[in-house]
Chains A and B, each alone.
Chain A
C-alpha cells in the first residue's frame, strides 16, 4: 500500500476581482511509496506549489483525493487539520520560517510542545542536533545564524516528530551552492534512514538527489524519471535532458 496517493487531483482558483476561474492543477495522479525520495519539478506557475499546499492540507482540492496511508485528507474537518499536520507531516520551507522569538532549541521543540508530547524531548533533540550538526547552536536565536544553519534548524523542527512524510518547498532556494549541497546531502542521509521525502523544486541540481523526479507542466504530471542505478551526476544529466526535450527547452 502506497504511503501517499494523489488521485486525479484538480484545483481551481477563483480570482477575487473577476468571476473567471484559474486552473492551477488539471489532473494530477501519482503515488509515493514508503521510504521514497521524490522531487517534483516544474517552472514557476506550473502548479507545483499548489500541489504541495494541497498535500500539506493548507489548501483544499476542488476535485480528486489525497490519501495518506488510508486517511483521506479532504475528509478531515477544519479543526483537525492542524493536529493532522503536526502529527503526520514535517515541513521545510524556502525561507526557513523559524520563529525569531524562540531559541534554536525551542524552535525545534515547537511541534512537540504543540502536540503536548514533550516527554523525552531532550534525547530526541540531542540525536537530531548531532545528525544535523547544530549541537553547539542550540541556545542561539535564529537571527544569529547563517542561512544554511537556519535551514538545518528548520529540518530539525520538521523531523523531531518523526513525520511519515517530509514536505520540502524549494529548501535550497535561499542558499548558496555550498550550503545547498550540504542540505541536499542531509536529505539524502535522512532518506537512507528510511525517511519519506517529497520535495518541490525548480532546480535540477536539487532534484538530482531524489530517487524519482516528477515533471509537472500545465497542471498535470508530464513525465517521470527514475534514478535506477544512476549516480547523482548522471541523474543531473538525465534531468536536464528531460527538461530540454520534454518541457520544450525552457530550462
Chain B
C-alpha cells in the first residue's frame, strides 16, 4: 500500500510529463485496436473477392503500426524517464532499497498501462463507429459491419502488455545499474554532441536502394504481392537509419560551411537541430513513415474505388448489353422484354462478332486454341468480318486478302506486323485504338484481341477451324440505353435472368455499379478510416514532440534573449526549426511514394485494378489535405512552443 501511494503520488506530481505520455500511449492503443477491429470485422469478411488483399494490407498495416507504436511509446517515455530517475534518486538517498524502487516502477507501469489501454480501447471503438456513421452517410450504401470482437481486444492488450513490460525492463535496468547520485543528476546531464555514424548511413543507404530497386524492377503482379512486404520493411528500416545518420552528416557539413552557418538565421537552428537529432531522428522518421503509409493507403484504396468506376464506364457503352447466339432472341424479343419491365429504349445499336475463344500467344506470334494457358500468354480472341465492322463503325477501310485489323483491350497492342491463327499468316494493316460501339474494357483482366477479317469467307474458314463444328459461333450484341426508375431496372434484371442461357447473356450497368460500389465502397471506406487515423496520429505526434522539447529548449532561448537575440529573431529561428520538422517528413514521404508507385501499380493489377487519372487527382487531394491539416497543427504547435520557450505571447 505504501508503494502504491508513492507511485500514485509520483504520477500526480509529474502530471505535466505523464499526461502527454498517456495521451500518446492511448492514441497508439486506439490505432492498433482500430486495425485489429477491421481485421476481424464482418465488413472486411464480406468484401468477397477483395477480402484477401484487404486482409493482406491490414495485416501489413498492423505490423507497421505495431512497430511505430513501440517506437513512439519508448520515445515519449524517454522524456518522462529523466524526471522519474531523479525522483528515484531522491527516494534512494532517503533510504529506499532498489527492490522498493522497482516495485514502485512496476506499480506505475501497471497504472499507466491500465489507463492507456482503457482509454485507447474505448476511444478506438468509438472513433471507428463514428467514422462509419459519417462515411456511410457520405459514400452511401449499406453500413459496414464492425463489431467488438474478443480476438481484437486480446491481441491489442497482449501487444501493449509486452510494450509496457519493455518499459519496465528499461526502468529496472536504470535503477539497478546506477548509483543514487547519478539518478539524481539524470535530468541535468546534457546530451553530448552526436557523432557521424557511417555504418548506420551505409546500412540505411543499402536498405533504401534495395527497397527502391525492388519496387522499380518488379515485373509481374504476382512478384509485387510477394515482394511488397520486404520492400516496405526495407524502406522503413532505411528511413530510421538514414534519419539518424544522414541528418547528422548533413548538419555537420552545413556547420563546416562558414558562410552559411554564421548567419543569425541558420546559426542557432543548425546547431540546435544537430543536438536534438538523436531524438529528433527517431521522431521524424516515424512521422515520415506514418505520412507515407497514409499516402499509400489512400492511393491504393482510391485506385480500387475509381479504377472500378472507370472500368464500369468502359465496360458499358450503353446501359444494357444483351448478347445472343444462335438467334435465341430476336431484336424484337429483346425490345419486348424491356417494355415488359416498363422501361423505354433509346440509342440502340448492335454488333456481330464471334464468341470469345481462349488462345495462347506463343513466341512465334502464333495464336493457338488452348484450355491451359499460363498467365503470361493467355488471350481472349474474337473475330468479326469487315462488313460488320463497317456497319458498326461507319469506317471506310479496305482490306486485301490476308490482311487484318487488330484491336487490343486490357493490355499493350500487338507490336508485330503480322500474326498467325487457324493455319494462316495475316499482315496487320492497322492496330486499332478503339472500335466505336464496342466496350473498351471487359470484366476480367486477360488481354483480349478482336481481329477484323477481310471477307465472310475468311471468317467462315477461321471459325470452322477454331470453334466446335456443331454450333454457330457468331453472336450478336444489342446495346441500348433505358429510361425508368431503379425498381424497373431491377425488374429488367429479373426478366433477363429468366431468359439467360448458353445462348443469351446480359449485363446491366445499374446492377454492376451497385455490386461494385458496395464492394469497393467498403474498401474505400477502410482507406479513408486509415488515412484519417494516421493523419491525426501524426499530427498529435508532432505536437507532442514540439511541446516536450519546448520545455528543454526554454533555458536556451532565455540565454539567447539575454545575449541580444530579439523577439523577432527568436520567432524566426523557431519558425525555421519547426518548418524543418514538418517539411522533412512530408518531403521524404513524397519521395517514398513516387518510388512505390510502380509496385503499387503492379499490386493493383494483381487484383485487376488499373491505375487511372482519377487516382492522381485523389492523390493530389490527399497530399493537399494532409499539408493543410499539418499546417493547422503547425500553427498551433509553433504558437504553443513559442509561448513555452519565451514566456511572451
Q: Which of B541-569 contact A (CB under 8 A)?
A: 556, 559-569
User: B461 interface residue, CB < 8 Å from A?
Assistant: no
With the chains together, A78 CA to B649 CA distance in Å?
Answer: 14
Binds B, one of A14-22, A103-111, A190-198, A229-237: A103-111
Binds A, one of B102-110, B111-119, B268-276: B268-276
User: B190 interface residue, CB < 8 Å from A?
Assistant: yes
User: Do the beta carbons of B274 and A101 come within 8 Å of each other?
Assistant: yes
With A99-B559, A101-B274: A109-B190 Cβ-Cβ less than 8 Å: no
User: B193 interface residue, CB < 8 Å from A?
Assistant: yes
Min CB distance B562 to A, Å, is 6
User: A126 interface residue, CB < 8 Å from B?
Assistant: no
Give 1 or 0 for each of A69-100: 1 = CB within 8 Å of chain B CB: 00000000011011101110101010001111
User: Do the beta carbons of A100 and B190 come within 8 Å of each other?
Assistant: yes
Give 1 or 0 for each of A105-128: 1 = CB within 8 Å of chain B CB: 010011111111010010000000
Q: Which of A189-219 contact B (CB under 8 A)?
A: none
Q: Which residues of B contact A101 (CB under 8 A)?
A: 271-272, 274-275, 556
Give 1 or 0 for each of B253-264: 1 = CB within 8 Å of chain A CB: 000000000111
Give 1 or 0 for each of B23-37: 1 = CB within 8 Å of chain A CB: 000000000000000
Q: Which residues of B contact A97 (CB under 8 A)?
A: 559, 562-563
With A82-B564, A86-B563, A111-B564: A99-B556 Cβ-Cβ less than 8 Å: yes
Give 1 or 0 for each of B164-205: 1 = CB within 8 Å of chain A CB: 000000000000000000000000001111000000000000
Nearest neighbor of B564 in chain A, beta-carbon distance: A86
User: A102 interface residue, CB < 8 Å from B?
Assistant: yes
With the chains together, A99 CA to B276 CA distance in Å?
Answer: 13
Nearest neighbor of B263 in chain A, beta-carbon distance: A113
User: Do the beta carbons of A114 and B271 come within 8 Å of each other?
Assistant: no
Min CB distance B642 to A, Å, is 16
Min CB distance B577 to A, Å, is 12
User: Do the beta carbons of A114 and B563 come within 8 Å of each other?
Assistant: yes
Contact partner, B567, options A79, A111, A121, A141, Cβ 8 Å: A79
Q: Which residues of A contact B566 (CB under 8 A)?
A: 79, 81-83
User: B267 interface residue, CB < 8 Å from A?
Assistant: yes
Contact partner, A114, options B192, B274, B556, B564, Cβ 8 Å: B564
Q: Which of B217-275 contact A (CB under 8 A)?
A: 262-264, 267, 271-272, 274-275
User: A143 interface residue, CB < 8 Å from B?
Assistant: yes
With A101-B272, A118-B262: A111-B563 Cβ-Cβ less than 8 Å: yes
Query: Chain B: how many interface residues by the 8 Å CB criterion?
Result: 24
User: Do the beta carbons of B561 and A82 come within 8 Å of each other?
Assistant: yes
With the chains together, A79 CA to B567 CA distance in Å?
Answer: 7
Q: Which residues of B contact A23 (CB under 8 A)?
A: none
Q: Which residues of B contact A99 (CB under 8 A)?
A: 271, 556, 559-560
User: A10 interface residue, CB < 8 Å from B?
Assistant: no
Min CB distance A80 to B, Å, is 8
User: Do the beta carbons of A157 and B563 come within 8 Å of each other?
Assistant: yes
With the chains together, A97 CA to B557 CA distance in Å?
Answer: 10
Nearest neighbor of A142 in chain B, beta-carbon distance: B190
User: Do the beta carbons of B264 and A116 come within 8 Å of each other?
Assistant: yes
Q: Which residues of B contact A85 (CB under 8 A)?
A: 562-564
Nearest neighbor of A140 in chain B, beta-carbon distance: B193
With the chains together, A183 CA to B286 CA distance in Å?
Answer: 48
Min CB distance B12 to A, Å, is 23
With the chains together, A62 CA to B562 CA distance in Å?
Answer: 21
User: A246 interface residue, CB < 8 Å from B?
Assistant: no
- Interface size bracket, A side: 20 to 34
Q: Which residues of A contact B568 (CB under 8 A)?
A: 79
User: A251 interface residue, CB < 8 Å from B?
Assistant: no
With the chains together, A115 CA to B565 CA distance in Å?
Answer: 9
Q: Which residues of A contact B563 (CB under 8 A)?
A: 85-86, 91, 97, 110-111, 114, 157
Q: Which residues of A contact B190 (CB under 8 A)?
A: 100, 143
Q: Which residues of B contact A58 (CB under 8 A)?
A: 562
Min CB distance B186 to A, Å, is 15
User: Do the beta carbons of B262 and A109 come within 8 Å of each other?
Assistant: yes
Q: Which residues of A contact B271 (CB under 8 A)?
A: 99, 101-102, 106
Nearest neighbor of A56 in chain B, beta-carbon distance: B562
User: Do the beta carbons of B275 and A113 come within 8 Å of each other?
Assistant: no
Min CB distance A155 to B, Å, is 13
With A82-B565, A82-B567, A111-B564: A100-B275 Cβ-Cβ less than 8 Å: yes
With the chains together, A157 CA to B560 CA distance in Å?
Answer: 12
With the chains together, A219 CA to B624 CA distance in Å?
Answer: 60
Q: Which residues of B contact A143 (CB under 8 A)?
A: 190, 192
Q: Which residues of B contact A102 (CB under 8 A)?
A: 271
Min CB distance A120 to B, Å, is 12
With the chains together, A98 CA to B310 CA distance in Å?
Answer: 64
Min CB distance A124 to B, Å, is 13
User: Do the beta carbons of A113 and B262 come within 8 Å of each other?
Assistant: yes
With the chains together, A85 CA to B190 CA distance in Å?
Answer: 28
With the chains together, A98 CA to B566 CA distance in Å?
Answer: 18
With A82-B567, A106-B271, A113-B267: A141-B192 Cβ-Cβ less than 8 Å: yes
User: Do the beta carbons of A91 and B193 come within 8 Å of each other?
Assistant: no
| Residue in B263, B267, B274 whose Cβ sees the most chain A Cβ within 10 Å | B267
Q: Which residues of A contact B569 (CB under 8 A)?
A: 82, 114
Min CB distance A76 to B, Å, is 12
User: Do the beta carbons of A91 and B272 come within 8 Å of each other?
Assistant: no
Nearest neighbor of B258 in chain A, beta-carbon distance: A118
With the chains together, A207 CA to B262 CA distance in Å?
Answer: 37
Q: Which residues of B contact A112 (CB under 8 A)?
A: 262
| Residue in B193, B564, B565, B567 whose Cβ sees the most chain A Cβ within 10 Å | B564
With the chains together, A79 CA to B571 CA distance in Å?
Answer: 12
With the chains together, A132 CA to B220 CA distance in Å?
Answer: 70
Min CB distance B561 to A, Å, is 7
Min CB distance B405 to A, Å, is 73
Min CB distance B67 to A, Å, is 30
With the chains together, A24 CA to B190 CA distance in Å?
Answer: 35
With the chains together, A24 CA to B44 CA distance in Å?
Answer: 72
Q: Which residues of B contact A121 (CB under 8 A)?
A: 262
Min CB distance B178 to A, Å, is 19
Q: Which residues of A contact B565 (CB under 8 A)?
A: 82, 86, 114
With the chains together, A182 CA to B111 CA distance in Å?
Answer: 54
With the chains together, A245 CA to B567 CA distance in Å?
Answer: 46
Task: Give the 4 A-B residue pairs with the shortest CB-CB distance, closest first.
Answer: A86-B564, A82-B566, A85-B564, A101-B275
Sample 5 A-B pairs with CB under 8 A, ordered by A number: A86-B565, A89-B564, A100-B556, A102-B271, A113-B262
* A58-B562, A83-B566 given; 16 more Cβ-contact pairs under 8 Å: A56-B562, A79-B566, A79-B567, A85-B564, A86-B565, A100-B190, A100-B556, A101-B275, A106-B271, A109-B262, A110-B267, A110-B563, A111-B564, A114-B264, A114-B267, A143-B190
